[in-house]
Structure 1
């Protein structure tokens, strides 16, 4: 039995003990995970520094703080999320107990989970492999490290759900493997997230926020603004304002700035540098392969057929594509695959509404970048080529649970059921239509109204017996 098979078998066996279903057990695991981030923050930050040259403050701000917030929310809300959820009834089921029960079966949802970190982030993966088994149940949540062959072996195993973050090419392989067992998947795949800057907005503030969103983590963020769409008349102004923000954030020499990162490895460094070949550099372009350094870079007058426009950049290159207004921008966005995020900067609500109504994307953010990711009450996920399924906060809980419909009847009031039994008559059909098509909210009606409805039920029972 391979290491991957053993991990899956061990997790399944641990799940079958039933301990992950206990809410107190889940809360203990979540609190232990919370403790890991407090006690081992310097270890985590050191690993991220080695992988991406991110500072300790940057690691907390952009990586662990959001995770800590998600854990705190789950601990606070878990009992509420896990409780049966009453649903609306119709008159036919008014005396029955009807609810949605999550089959709580990722930690908050009560699952066992095999964790497979990316082999690309070598140091971060090692920290996960070393620390997770120390803080949380190592049988329920085993960590499997490795590259392509280990991932392929893991995908041959049968899972109840597969959650993957990465690119669409690998996402298709994940989905293909999952199809063999009819396993549902959640895929967060990124893509080319557009950013439209309206010529009449405050361009200085817009470009400051775009520069922050683009160059954070050296552009290696799944929801980074991938490219800018703006009218030709404001392109020069956009370039100048982005350049100002780069200097403000990362100094005149970003290479020596502790807040500016590095590309994850030389393979991706070469991939990004190849994208520059047929576009004009308006700012930046400096690079050092030995250090995996690429300066914050702006490209001007970029053509739709340029190399940099053929795939998600996932690096610090910011192409600007001139378009003749909002209508042309919307057409250009809709010609491509649906992005994970769509950004629009405008002081005109009509512009924002048109962009919202006439495009499709995983998420949309007006007048800022990235921050929608941090709002736990918003679902985060892709659509089409940018993924499927959503998570964050309660959405994560629901995504990794099964909403089980439950109806508990009593062996009474059989007369009401007579309308469904043969022989079928028009009179029975009329009563059935009345009962099924009238939904009631028992909580709103109150007890007195419920008694009145039950009186109607009794009358119908008599009617049915007289048929």
Structure 2
């Protein structure tokens, strides 16, 4: 592939270093997405069964606001930042300056094939980089529209898009890009990171994991049920920050188990398969995997499925033990296991024993309990008395920690992630203090006092 050479040449021409050029490019991207919006909505329906509302709110609308926010603040982000000099470097002035890294390789997943393809691209453009996009082959209709957007809007030496399977992905990784931005599973993330290490290529890994929800005895149960089930069954559960399991306090467990099925019916009716607001599973392979996980557990409510249209009913599982198959991996589907805890320390122990999650949610009216959970547990991001909405804020960096990923983006965090901050020190030549010159060194005793 000569795309890497062409992008390097275009980057080295210096065109992308212009802030005004970046803003123009972002505006072009905005218009291109807007033009293809109806086609994107149709493609998302074909690939994932997404309703028009869900497609716009979860994918397209967030891109519009991100682009507008980035254009508004980009000039300020790109300015050099003056830093106070220390005594050791006086007289002098110091500052940092953000510069683009070069060419960014972006791997997008299938679950949000529009948002998670273009959101990193917005950051890459804002930081002054070129980019190569690799959409997921599992969302073919959406990938085709995204390909049309990019090819009709940008020159490939600036922004290119390449469709294909794993063999294409492997070839791209071997091209030694200046940064790789990967969103997907932890297993594939490890492969990407290992391959990137051969070229010492920095990576951003947006992965997943088993994101818990803790519901304590002070929570407003109907409210909690609505927020949890909305976050879980949005996109048919195929969301990296979806609640993966619920830990509910023993004293309110029975009441909560009674409320949850009622909320499912309120959301999707007696037959969710007929609901225009409920999506489908991406592939037959993924559908079969979810069925196997479900059948290894006890179904409280739901459990129906249809292989012909990859339908799987919103399903609550109870009782569930930690050693059941569904608790050994990220679910990534409309199955919600429910476990219990005796007190908050017990809940914290259960979560802490597992790999660090991408998200954590808590429902509680106790400020003390809220604070204890936030301070006791590590997680990428999350919410108190809400689920998944933290991902919609420009002001909140989105990313994982440990097994759930590394690096973050959204808003300025994305600009920072895909920039290199160059540090500079200026000293005037008219004044030279020979503190450390070999022939004019000050005494070590005076030097010690200077650095204290």
Q: Same fold by TM-score, threshold 0.5 exceeded?
A: yes
Q: Distance in 1 between matches of 2:399 and 2:84?
A: 28
- Aligned match for 1:54, one of 42, 50, 55: 50
- Aligned match for 1:71, one of 42, 60, 67: 67
Query: Are the counterparts in 2 of residues 419 and 432 from structure 1 also a CA contact under 8 Å?
Result: no
Deviation per residue, 1:179-230 (Å, 9 max, x gap): 0011110001011000000122111101110010000000001100000001
Deviation at 1:243, TM superposition (A): 1.5
Task: Give the secondary-structure state (helix, strand or coil) at the position aligned to 1:86.
Answer: strand
- Structure richer in helix, relative to its length: 1
Higher mean Cα deviation, 83-92 or 368-377? 83-92
Residues 412, 92 of structure 1: CA spacing in aligned structure 2 closer, same or farther, 3 A cutoff?
farther
Q: Distance in 2 between matches of 1:385 and 1:7?
A: 32
Q: Distance in 2 between matches of 1:267 and 1:44?
A: 24
Q: Distance in 2 between matches of 1:429 and 1:421?
A: 14
Task: Give the secondary-structure state (helix, strand or coil) at the position aligned to 1:276.
Answer: helix
Residues 20, 276 of structure 1: CA spacing in aligned structure 2 closer, same or farther, 3 A cutoff?
same
Q: Distance in 1 between matches of 2:377 and 2:216?
A: 16
1:188 and 2:188 matched: no
- Aligned match for 2:290, one of 272, 282, 286: 272
Q: Distance in 2 between matches of 1:258 and 1:421?
A: 79
1:80 and 2:80 matched: no
Query: Are the counterparts in 1 of residues 84 and 93 from structure 2 also a CA contact under 8 Å?
Result: no
Deviation per residue, 1:9-38 (Å, 9 max, x gap): 222222122211111111111001111222
Task: Give the secondary-structure state (helix, strand or coil) at the position aligned to 1:113.
Answer: strand
Corresponding residue of 2:95: 99
- Taking the TM superposition and a 5 Å limit, the aligned residue runs for 1:74-223 are 74-105=70-101, 106-223=124-241
Deviation per residue, 1:266-324 (Å, 9 max, x gap): 01001111101231101110100111000100001100011110110000000001221
Corresponding residue of 1:380: 398
- Taking the TM superposition and a 5 Å limit, the aligned residue runs for 1:288-299 are 288-299=306-317
1:358 and 2:354 matched: no
- Taking the TM superposition and a 5 Å limit, the aligned residue runs for 1:256-405 are 256-405=274-423
Residues 413, 223 of structure 1: CA spacing in aligned structure 2 closer, same or farther, 3 A cutoff?
same
Residues 206, 429 of structure 1: CA spacing in aligned structure 2 closer, same or farther, 3 A cutoff?
same
Query: Are the counterparts in 2 of residues 419 and 428 from structure 1 also a CA contact under 8 Å?
Result: no
Higher mean Cα deviation, 363-372 or 245-254? 245-254
Q: Distance in 2 between matches of 1:288 and 1:252?
A: 16
Query: Are the counterparts in 1 of residues 398 and 408 from structure 2 also a CA contact under 8 Å?
Result: yes
Higher mean Cα deviation, 219-228 or 136-145? 136-145
Query: Are the counterparts in 1 of residues 435 and 442 from structure 2 also a CA contact under 8 Å?
Result: no
Q: Distance in 2 between matches of 1:328 and 1:358?
A: 12
Corresponding residue of 1:13: 9
Aligned residues: 429
Deviation at 1:8, TM superposition (A): 2.1
Q: Distance in 1 between matches of 2:410 and 2:421?
A: 17
Q: Distance in 1 between matches of 2:347 and 2:3?
A: 49
Q: Distance in 1 between matches of 2:447 and 2:438?
A: 11
Q: Distance in 2 between matches of 1:19 and 1:380?
A: 29
1:241 and 2:259 matched: yes
Deviation at 1:62, TM superposition (A): 0.9
Deviation per residue, 1:322-350 (Å, 9 max, x gap): 22121111111111100000011100011
Q: Distance in 2 between matches of 1:136 and 1:93?
A: 45
Q: Distance in 2 between matches of 1:235 and 1:432?
A: 63
Higher mean Cα deviation, 164-173 or 420-429? 420-429
Residues 412, 167 of structure 1: CA spacing in aligned structure 2 closer, same or farther, 3 A cutoff?
same
Task: Give the secondary-structure state (helix, strand or coil) at the position aligned to 1:29.
Answer: helix
Higher mean Cα deviation, 422-431 or 329-338? 422-431
Q: Distance in 2 between matches of 1:162 and 1:419?
A: 42
Query: Are the counterparts in 2 of residues 284 and 298 from structure 1 also a CA contact under 8 Å?
Result: yes
Deviation at 1:255, TM superposition (A): 0.6
Higher mean Cα deviation, 228-237 or 363-372? 228-237
Query: Are the counterparts in 2 of residues 356 and 364 from structure 1 also a CA contact under 8 Å?
Result: no
Q: Which runs of 5+ in 2 are unaligned?
A: 102-123
Deviation per residue, 1:82-122 (Å, 9 max, x gap): 11011122233343120011113410000011101111111
Higher mean Cα deviation, 171-180 or 93-102? 93-102
Query: Are the counterparts in 2 of residues 207 and 242 from structure 1 also a CA contact under 8 Å?
Result: yes
TM-score by length of 2: 0.92
